[in-house]
Chain A
Amino acid sequence: MTPLHKPWGTLMLVGVNHTTAPIEVRERLAISAARLADATRTLAHQPGIREAMILSTCNRVEFLIDRDVSPDAQHEIQHDLILPRFVHEYFAVAPASLAPHLYEFREREAIRHLFRVASSLDSMVVGEPQILGQVKQSWNVAREVGAISSSDALKSTLDPLLQRAFSVAKRVRSETRIGSTSVSIASVAVDLARKIFGSLTGKTVLIVGAGKMSDLAARHLIQQGAKTLLVSNRTEARAEAIAAALRTPAITTGVIPFAQLHTEAHRADIVITSTGAGQIVTPAQARDILHRRRNRPMFFIDIAVPRDVDPAVNKVEGCFVYDIDDLQQLAAQNQASRGKEAEAAETIVSSEVDRYHQRRSSAPAVETIKQLQLSAESLRQQELARTAARLSAEPFTPSQQAAVDALTRSLTAKLLHPQLTALREAPSEPETTE
């Protein structure tokens, strides 16, 4: 990697995501966690690249680089071809087949995209929390393999940018409610269970019937701490199979014969029904079940069509019934609410991009001003030393020394003033975008 340079117009981000590329394309570019270090190292060693990071998740593969635009490197490298060439060589994918799916951002737009990705505004499920961890993981890998500098000696461009991206993501999380609602049916069901029972640790879940959705909901509840899983099915062998599939060392499973469902259901705090065989729980039965539980609340998640639990059961005090429509409606409302929060989050991201870009674009001018001032000061000292000998054989008295110092400083400052003002007020370089 090349040492410090003037970092103007060097950021570039190329990638594919769930909106631009189908799964067939994304899976060809996907990089497993085990291969990420190797791929990042290989990318960082490409000519013309100063720093690099690769983000590979199930919904996106992105390459973020800081290009080397030093005069030595400039004439040899066609920057536009760095990443397509790497992708072609590393993944053995023809550039032409990828071109329609690739997006490319530079400078300000690359910063914006990174901030949006880290803040989960570009995710398939807006507000999902995993993406920030994935970006951090990629950043860690890049630092470990030396693709992003973490030492002061080699001034990094990507390291402060990524750290800023994490701060922006944190700000978005704390100042908006973008991630506070659930948008999948299973997680909505878990949220509702939490509103009833608080912690789900030690709770008992009963699955009645078999189905992918009930299986998923049960797994979610187990993940949240449910301790006992009971299964009831018309076919006992099928119930045994479901229980076996969900059994882990941490949870206890059991099978309730379908005929004994009403006398044994009181053992469960949460009942997930998916038989689709019509109403297997009526209000009278629910009252009886609740009486056996000494009125402790009970949550029925009815994902069967036609419904298994009579809607009137919801009127029984202590029983809470949510059918598939209720859950879907809540998930949709939460999704809409996330959309509103996303608007607020976009505003935060925009202001952060402006601030970061401003700081970054003023960095070269600041550096030049500093060098100009140092050079002028050095000249002043040299001239002062030379002239002092001519003016007097004796060393200056302190008051004479102070007067000469003030005079030369004032002259230098006045001579530099127009140049420094021009540098400070110079417009930013036009940026290149997608």
Chain B
Amino acid sequence: MSLLWLRVAVLLYGIAALAVLPAALYNRPRWRHLAVPIALGGTFFHFVSIAETFYAAHRALPVGTHETLSLLGLLLAIAFLLLAARYRTMAFGIFLLPVTVLLTLVPAFRAGKETIAYPLAGPVWIFLHVALLLAAYAALLISLLASVLYFVQERSLKSKSSPSSASSKLKLPPLETIDQIALKSLLLGLPCMTAGLLIGSVVALETVGPAFFADPKVLLSLAMWMAYMLMIFIRQHSGLRGRRAVYLSSFAFVFVLAVWAANQLSAVHRFTAP
């Protein structure tokens, strides 16, 4: 049954991803009024699907790549809805909704076989570790998107393009608002990432011991945290915006991808087929 709800969610996300295009690209309010409720419906069914899966398995943790991706997709859909409500912008949906569709498509149509063996520490702590890190990844992705949109809006204003040109038609929030979104998402992601890594480290120390810190994924995670800190420091200190902010965000995002890929190398985090 949970797969059915997830498929419904994917379908709704897909429709919302299409409806958001005329809303953002041509500033058509009718499409906006269509995209947001549909995305909200998708989020609801997605949540029901995850809750039902966890309830049926008597656990509160994602145990495989598919479930983790699905959870990340849910966080991104929620982020889109929050941005649409707070800043009245559909532009983030152009990227966030298709990414959400991609993240949930495979889990919805192909059952995950690999699983991850969690240590025996309290499941609440492990859940917090996973959820906080996924929230930090989502925040970083939004910050990267905001930097790209800032760059697009800046180019459009500098090129003095006519109102009928493609870049002018794209309905983007003002530069200062995009900048605020980028910075706020980073500032929100920082405590999530810090707390997520700290919880993971404490649990690892209790269960595996100091050897855990020799794991490539753990090392990359620490490097990612430092890159994250560095990015916030540079942005706050020098007011970095535009093209250079895109480079910096991309640099930090590469670390996230590297950490994700490190699951294949990690002895502790590896997703393995049972």
Which residues of A sit under 8 angstroms from B27, Cβ to Cβ? 177, 180
Contact yes or no, A295 B174, CB < 8 A? no
Which residues of B sit under 8 angstroms from A293, Cβ to Cβ? 239
How far apart sit A333 and B164, CA to CA, in the bound complex (Å)?
Answer: 8
| Given A181-B163, A326-B160: A196 and B238 interface contact (C-beta under 8 Å) | no
Question: Is B241's beta carbon under 8 Å from chain A?
Answer: yes
Q: Mark B225-240, 1 if CB is under 8 A from A, else 0.
A: 0000000000000111
Question: Is A294's beta carbon under 8 Å from chain B?
Answer: yes
Contact yes or no, A320 B174, CB < 8 A? no
Contact yes or no, A317 B160, CB < 8 A? no
Which residues of B sit under 8 angstroms from A195, Cβ to Cβ? 153, 157, 174-175
Q: Mark A310-353, 1 if CB is under 8 A from B, else 0.
A: 00001101101010001001100110010000000000000000
How far apart sit A405 and B14, CA to CA, in the bound complex (Å)?
Answer: 63
How far apart sit A293 and B241, CA to CA, in the bound complex (Å)?
Answer: 13
Which residues of A sit under 8 angstroms from B163, Cβ to Cβ? 181, 330, 333-334, 337
Return the chain A residue nearest B165 by Cβ: A333
CB interface residues, A 160-205, toward B, < 8 Å: 174, 177, 180-181, 192, 194-198
| Given A333-B163, A333-B164, A334-B163: A317 and B242 interface contact (C-beta under 8 Å) | yes
CB interface residues, B 147-162, toward A, < 8 Å: 153-154, 157-158, 160, 162
How far apart sit A194 and B175, CA to CA, in the bound complex (Å)?
Answer: 9
- Checking B158, B175, B176, B177 against A314 with a beta-carbon cut-off of 8 angstroms, the contacting residue is B158
Question: Is B93's beta carbon under 8 Å from chain A?
Answer: no
Which residues of A sit under 8 angstroms from B153, Cβ to Cβ? 195
A379 CB to nearest B CB, Å: 54
A322 CB to nearest B CB, Å: 7
Question: Is A370's beta carbon under 8 Å from chain B?
Answer: no
CB interface residues, B 186-223, toward A, < 8 Å: none
Question: Is A133's beta carbon under 8 Å from chain B?
Answer: no
CB interface residues, A 246-298, toward B, < 8 Å: 293-297
Question: Is B42's beta carbon under 8 Å from chain A?
Answer: no
- Checking B157, B173, B177, B240 against A295 with a beta-carbon cut-off of 8 angstroms, the contacting residue is B240
Question: Is B59's beta carbon under 8 Å from chain A?
Answer: no
Question: Is B184's beta carbon under 8 Å from chain A?
Answer: no
Which residues of A sit under 8 angstroms from B244, Cβ to Cβ? 317
From B153, B176, B244, residue with most partner A Cβ within 10 Å: B176
Contact yes or no, A196 B240, CB < 8 A? no
Which residues of A sit under 8 angstroms from B238, Cβ to Cβ? 294-295
Which residues of A sit under 8 angstroms from B243, Cβ to Cβ? 317
- Checking A198, A317, A320, A330 against B177 with a beta-carbon cut-off of 8 angstroms, the contacting residue is A198
- Checking A174, A181, A297, A322 against B175 with a beta-carbon cut-off of 8 angstroms, the contacting residue is A297
A380 CB to nearest B CB, Å: 53
Which residues of B sit under 8 angstroms from A196, Cβ to Cβ? 157, 174-176
Contact yes or no, A197 B157, CB < 8 A? no
From A295, A296, A314, A329, residue with most partner B Cβ within 10 Å: A295
For chain A, the count of residues having a C-beta within 8 Å of the partner chain is 27
How far apart sit A295 and B177, CA to CA, in the bound complex (Å)?
Answer: 15
B147 CB to nearest A CB, Å: 13
Contact yes or no, A297 B158, CB < 8 A? no
Which residues of B sit under 8 angstroms from A326, Cβ to Cβ? 160
How far apart sit A227 and B143, CA to CA, in the bound complex (Å)?
Answer: 30
B243 CB to nearest A CB, Å: 7
How far apart sit A239 and B160, CA to CA, in the bound complex (Å)?
Answer: 31
Contact yes or no, B157 A320, CB < 8 A? yes
Contact yes or no, B242 A294, CB < 8 A? no
Which residues of A sit under 8 angstroms from B158, Cβ to Cβ? 314-315, 320
A310 CB to nearest B CB, Å: 14
- Checking A192, A197, A334 against B176 with a beta-carbon cut-off of 8 angstroms, the contacting residue is A197
Contact yes or no, B164 A197, CB < 8 A? no
Which residues of B sit under 8 angstroms from A296, Cβ to Cβ? 239
How far apart sit A317 and B244, CA to CA, in the bound complex (Å)?
Answer: 10
| Given A195-B157, A326-B160: A318 and B174 interface contact (C-beta under 8 Å) | no
How far apart sit A192 and B158, CA to CA, in the bound complex (Å)?
Answer: 11
| Given A192-B157, A195-B157, A322-B160: A317 and B241 interface contact (C-beta under 8 Å) | yes
CB interface residues, B 81-96, toward A, < 8 Å: none
From B157, B160, B241, B244, residue with most partner A Cβ within 10 Å: B160
- Checking B157, B176, B241, B242 against A198 with a beta-carbon cut-off of 8 angstroms, the contacting residue is B176
A270 CB to nearest B CB, Å: 12
Which residues of A sit under 8 angstroms from B177, Cβ to Cβ? 198
Contact yes or no, B164 A297, CB < 8 A? no
Return the chain A residue nearest B236 by Cβ: A294
B204 CB to nearest A CB, Å: 40
B207 CB to nearest A CB, Å: 46
How far apart sit A196 and B177, CA to CA, in the bound complex (Å)?
Answer: 9
B58 CB to nearest A CB, Å: 48
- Checking B162, B175, B239 against A333 with a beta-carbon cut-off of 8 angstroms, the contacting residue is B162
Contact yes or no, B174 A194, CB < 8 A? yes
How far apart sit A174 and B154, CA to CA, in the bound complex (Å)?
Answer: 29
How far apart sit A418 and B60, CA to CA, in the bound complex (Å)?
Answer: 79
Q: Which residues of B contact A (CB under 8 A)?
A: 27, 29, 153-154, 157-158, 160, 162-164, 173-177, 238-244
Q: Which residues of A contact B (CB under 8 A)?
A: 174, 177, 180-181, 192, 194-198, 293-297, 314-315, 317-318, 320, 322, 326, 329-330, 333-334, 337
Further contacts, 20 of them, CB under 8 A, given A317-B241, A326-B160: A177-B27, A180-B27, A192-B157, A195-B157, A195-B175, A197-B174, A197-B175, A198-B173, A198-B177, A293-B239, A295-B238, A296-B239, A297-B176, A317-B154, A317-B243, A318-B241, A320-B158, A329-B160, A333-B162, A333-B164
Q: Considering the complex of A and B, which 4 residue pairs feature the smallest CB-CB distances, nearest first?
A: A198-B174, A295-B239, A294-B239, A198-B177
Cross-chain pairs A/B with CB under 8 angstroms, 13 sampled:
A177-B27, A192-B157, A195-B157, A196-B174, A196-B176, A295-B240, A297-B175, A315-B158, A317-B242, A318-B241, A330-B160, A330-B162, A337-B164
